[in-house]
């Protein structure tokens, strides 16, 4: 007997071998997809009738700072350096472990509600984010943020904590948690420190999550300090590989794109954050054309200000159309690939596609809504018309986290109240 059967659904598999099924059935057993087809002879404990619904792989958020939900709307409309150094970092200096737990739990709740099934995070007090992931049932690749700032002592302490975290949580929560090293950026960590992090990550078999060329200020600072940009510096110290996740990558030259392609680096594109902080426009169409693996991230809630990847998909599509003056750039299916398959390639290739043998991370969207009527083309609706709030069911690793808009794994009211209280206390401490 199977665990879950989803029937009568439009199945957007994202599997190029099979294509979509207009009216099909998905069978889930022991956390994996065991059957996809028109019908099944199996029976299951849970049978979900997905009439008027779309089943698709859960969305993958490849760059966020989950606990920053506490700073949602806290310091808007500021220059990035002023925003980060003048507002966010002073507030983060007051963050307690409990705050991070409450903020991360709120993020998990928001992700479950908006159809994100896994995410990559770089932050502090990461044991707490890991506990929130464990409790919420989501999948995540987590890293402790290392901000050395040319201070050897701080670098040592950060690296020690990063290493402890990597080893403590690798493979935890039934394999739903992976760990990475999280050096913040090439303009906040020294060359020697970055090289040391690379070495540690290779030794531990852990990936690396880093911000790269988010701003022109970073590009100029790197040229001044090293006579070359971040991508060339990182390449020269042997930093890059397919286990590296590089967030933003806005200020790239064509040569940089070639390096990222050659090294198999995974890029996380954060369209909304880059637009809100006016960081610039990442050359996503060029990267995709050249074969770089580009996925989508929201960044933290202080620069977005939510975790809805459906918004991110639409924004990315629109941004690159207007940027290239070409409405054919980033068509809907390609954007869906970025939100699912490409993100999965960066975090866990056994997810991101509805295919027999893959882990069962999937979502069901309710298509019987005014803004989704009529429906000529499902991918078009998912990118241009749907919202995270159209997700009615979220399943991760074969477990139902939200069933028909009801979140089963968290006490929603309590999560919101606790986060609200923690945020208010934090801001009053910062202002005192």
Ligand X SMILES: C[C@H]1O[C@@H](n2cnc3c(N)ncnc32)[C@H](O)[C@@H]1O
Residue 303 binding partner per list ligand X, Zn ion, none, with a CB distance cut-off of 5 to 8 Å that depends on partner kind = ligand X
Q: Which does 88 bind (CB under 5 to 8 A by kind): Zn ion, ligand X, none?
A: ligand X
Q: Phi/psi class of residue 205: alpha, beta or left (left: φ > 0; alpha: ψ in -120 to 50)?
A: left
Name the binder of 366 from ligand X, Zn ion, none, CB < 5-8 A by kind: none
- Considering only 72, 176, 211, 345, the residue that binds ligand X (CB under 6 A) is 211
- In this chain, which stretch among 25-33, 47-55, 298-306, 307-315 interacts with ligand X, using CB under 6 A? 298-306
- Phi first, then psi: what are they for 29, rounded to 5°? -145, 135
Q: Exactly one of 15, 214, 308, 311 binds ligand X (CB under 6 A); which one?
A: 214
Q: Is 211 annotated as a binding residue?
A: yes
Q: Which does 3 bind (CB under 5 to 8 A by kind): ligand X, Zn ion, none?
A: none
88 binds ligand X (CB under 6 A): yes
Residues 6+ apart with CB under 8 A from 413: none
From residue 300 to residue 339, the character string flagging contacts with ligand X as x (rule: CB under 6 A) and all else as - is x--x------------------------------------
Q: How many whole angstroms separate alpha carbon 403 and alpha carbon 419? A: 23
Query: Per this entry, what is the length of the chain?
Result: 432
Sole window of 101-109, 297-305, 339-347, 384-392 interacting with ligand X (rule: CB under 6 A):
297-305
64 binds ligand X per the rule CB under 6 A = no
The answer to whether residue 251 forms part of the interface with ligand X (CB under 6 A) is: no
Q: Does 62 bind ligand X (CB under 6 A)?
A: no
By CB under 6 A, tell whether 65 contacts ligand X: yes
Which residues in the 286-305 window bind Zn ion by CB under 5 A? Answer: 299
Distance CA 118, CA 360 (A): 12
* Strands 406-407, 53-57: pairing kind: unpaired
Out of 24, 57, 115, 145, point to the residue binding ligand X (CB under 6 A): 145
Give the interface segment with ligand X, choosing from 158-166, 232-240, 296-304, 399-407 (CB under 6 A). Answer: 296-304
Ligand-binding annotation for 232, yes or no, is no
* Torsion (CA) 104, 107, 111, 117 in degrees, nearest 10: -20
Of the residues 11, 27, 48, 84, which one makes contact with ligand X according to CB under 6 A: 84
Name which of 315 and 397 has its Cβ closer to ligand X: 315
Q: Is 184 in the site for ligand X (CB under 6 A)?
A: yes
| Candidates 3-11, 84-92, 169-177, 221-229; binding stretch for ligand X (CB under 6 A) | 84-92
Least distance to ligand X, CB of residue 117, Å: 22
Closer residue to ligand X in complex, CB, 145/283: 145
* C-beta of 88 vs 245, nearer to ligand X: 88
What x/- string results for residues 370 through 399 when contact with ligand X is judged by CB under 6 A? ------------------------------
- The annotation status of 289 as a binding-site residue, yes or no, is no
Report angle CA 134, 139, 142 to the nearest 5 degrees.
80
Question: What is the β-pairing status of strands 399-403 and 406-407?
Answer: antiparallel
* Site for ligand X contains 92 (CB under 6 A): yes
Q: Would you tell me which residues interact with Zn ion (CB under 5 A)?
A: 299
User: What are the binding residues for Zn(2+)?
Assistant: 63, 65, 211, 299
Which residues in this chain contact ligand X in the complex, by CB under 6 A? 65, 84, 88, 92, 122-123, 145, 184, 211, 214, 273, 299-300, 303
Annotated binding site for substrate: 92, 184, 214, 299
């Amino acid at each position: 007997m199977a665990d879950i059967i989803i029937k009568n659904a439009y199945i957007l598999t994202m599997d190029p071998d099979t294509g979509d099924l207009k009216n099909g059935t998905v069978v889930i057993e022991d956390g994996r997809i065991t059957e996809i087809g028109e019908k099944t002879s199996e029976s299951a404990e849970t049978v979900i009738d997905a009439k008027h619904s779309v089943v698709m792989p859960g969305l993958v958020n490849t760059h966020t700072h989950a606990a920053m939900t506490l700073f949602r709307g806290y310091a808007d409309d500021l220059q990035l350096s002023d925003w980060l150094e003048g507002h966010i970092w002073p507030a983060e200096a007051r963050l307690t472990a409990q705050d991070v737990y409450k903020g991360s739990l709120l993020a998990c709740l928001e992700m479950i509600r908006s159809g994100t099934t896994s995410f990559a995070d770089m932050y502090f007090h990461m044991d707490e984010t890991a506990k929130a992931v464990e409790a919420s049932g989501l999948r995540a690749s987590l890293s402790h943020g290392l901000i050395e700032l040319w201070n050897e002592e701080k670098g040592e302490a950060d690296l020690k904590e990063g290493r402890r975290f990597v080893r403590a949580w690798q493979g935890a929560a039934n394999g739903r948690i992976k760990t990475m090293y999280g050096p913040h950026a090439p303009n906040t960590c020294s060359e020697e420190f970055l090289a040391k992090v690379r070495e540690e990550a290779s030794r531990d078999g852990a990936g690396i999550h880093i911000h790269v060329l988010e701003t022109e200020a970073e590009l100029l600072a790197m040229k001044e300090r090293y006579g070359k940009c971040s991508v060339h510096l990182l390449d020269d110290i042997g930093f890059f590989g397919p286990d590296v996740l590089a967030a933003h990558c806005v200020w790239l030259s064509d040569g940089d794109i070639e390096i990222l392609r050659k090294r198999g680096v995974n890029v996380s594109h954060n369209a909304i954050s880059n637009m809100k902080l006016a960081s610039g426009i990442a050359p996503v169409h060029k990267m995709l054309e050249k074969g770089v693996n580009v996925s989508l991230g929201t960044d933290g809630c202080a620069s977005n200000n939510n975790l809805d990847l459906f918004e991110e998909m639409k924004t990315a599509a629109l941004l690159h159309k207007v940027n290239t003056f070409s409405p054919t750039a980033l068509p809907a299916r390609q954007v869906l690939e970025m939100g699912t398959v490409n993100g999965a390639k960066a975090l866990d290739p056994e997810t991101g596609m509805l295919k027999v043998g893959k882990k069962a991370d999937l979502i069901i969207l309710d298509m019987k809504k005014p803004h989704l009527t009529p429906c000529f083309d499902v991918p078009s609706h998912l990118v241009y018309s749907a919202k995270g709030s159209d997700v009615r069911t979220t399943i991760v690793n074969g477990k139902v986290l939200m069933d028909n808009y009801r979140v089963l794994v968290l006490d929603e009211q309590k999560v919101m109240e606790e986060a609200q209280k923690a945020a208010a206390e934090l801001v009053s401490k910062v202002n005192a």
